[in-house]
Amino acid sequence: MKYEGYLIDLDGTMYNGGTVIEGAIDFIDRLNKAAIPYVFLTNNATKTQTEAAQKLIDMGFDIHPRTLYTSAMTTAAYLKAEFPGASVHVIGTSGLSSTLEAAGCVLTDENPDFVVMGLDTALTYEKLAHGARLISAGAKFISTNPDRKFPSDEGFLPGNGSLVSVLASTTDVEPIVIGKPKGIILEAAVKALGLSKDKVILVGDNYDTDIRTGLDNGVATLHVNTGVTSREQVKTQERQPEHMIDQLSEWSVE
């Protein structure tokens, strides 16, 4: 079947850390040549839209920043729509903070309405302790994404989901999860494509986030065995992706 639009994961699908995955640039070039629209749908909340796009451009991808849709952007859109002007304490990068601030959130370290947590590679015990105190005092808890791990040049590293579990365990408060596999990020990305779900396919390497996003929300899925979940691990799942390949070079866009 020919799909009219693509939702494409980044980490483990386009690149691992600072290394482009074989066939990824050619895959995007083929989509561009065929004038098939796509959106990069990523749970990575560490960068702004422009920063996330620049990483791809610097790696040699011919893309436009508007094609990037991150869990940080989805979190910002959620708060803007449901809690405009909310005060937020951020555990995460400056990219996450600036994305939330641009959506009208008021950043604060004291008595916030929300504690929003994204991957923070400079995470410290004090940051976790302060977040736990704020949540225990009544702040609502948001996790930008549930990823337990992500691939890098050095192998798998702890993801936001693993670190969020520390606060959840400490406070006995389960966070509102925004990113994949939740429907909120999928609906926003499909809307950006301007297509109905039956004409779209989601491409990713992580069964628990990418593939479940499609399976749970009515979008076809293509699992690429270049990142988190291996072919053997996918095969053990009760629900299977519509398609599975080892390399993007195996997939025809037309």
CA–CA gap between residue 48 and residue 155 (Å, rounded): 24
CA–CA gap between residue 85 and residue 92 (Å, rounded): 19
Q: Annotated catalytic residue: which of 11, 120, 205, 210?
A: 11
- CA 7, distance to chain mean position in Å, is 11
Shared domain for 172 and 87, answered yes or no, is yes
Give the count of domains, the chain.
Answer: 2
Whole domain around residue 240: which residue ranges?
5-43+180-250
80-127 residue pLDDT tens? 999 999 999 999 999 999 999 999 999 999 999 999 999 999 999 999
CA–CA gap between residue 17 and residue 4 (Å, rounded): 29
Q: Model confidence at 192, in pLDDT bands (50, 70, 90)?
A: confident
CA–CA gap between residue 185 and residue 210 (Å, rounded): 11
**For residue 20, what is the domain's CATH number?**
3.40.50.1000
**pTM (predicted TM-score):** 0.86
pLDDT for res 85: 97
Shared domain for 168 and 187, answered yes or no, is no
205-229 residue pLDDT tens? 999 999 999 999 999 999 999 999 9
Task: Name the H helices within 48-204.
Answer: 49-59, 71-82, 94-102, 125-136, 160-171, 183-193
137-191 residue pLDDT tens? 999 999 999 989 888 888 889 999 999 999 999 999 999 999 999 888 899 899 8
Catalytic residue check, 120: no
DSSP structure string for 42-66: E---SS-HHHHHHHHHHHT----GG
Shared domain for 90 and 173, answered yes or no, is yes
**What mean pLDDT is reported for the chain?**
95
Instruction: Let me know: does 147 contact 100? Beta carbons within 8 Å.
Output: no
Shared domain for 168 and 205, answered yes or no, is no
Residue 194: count of CB within 10 angstroms of its CB: 9
Catalytic residue check, 11: yes
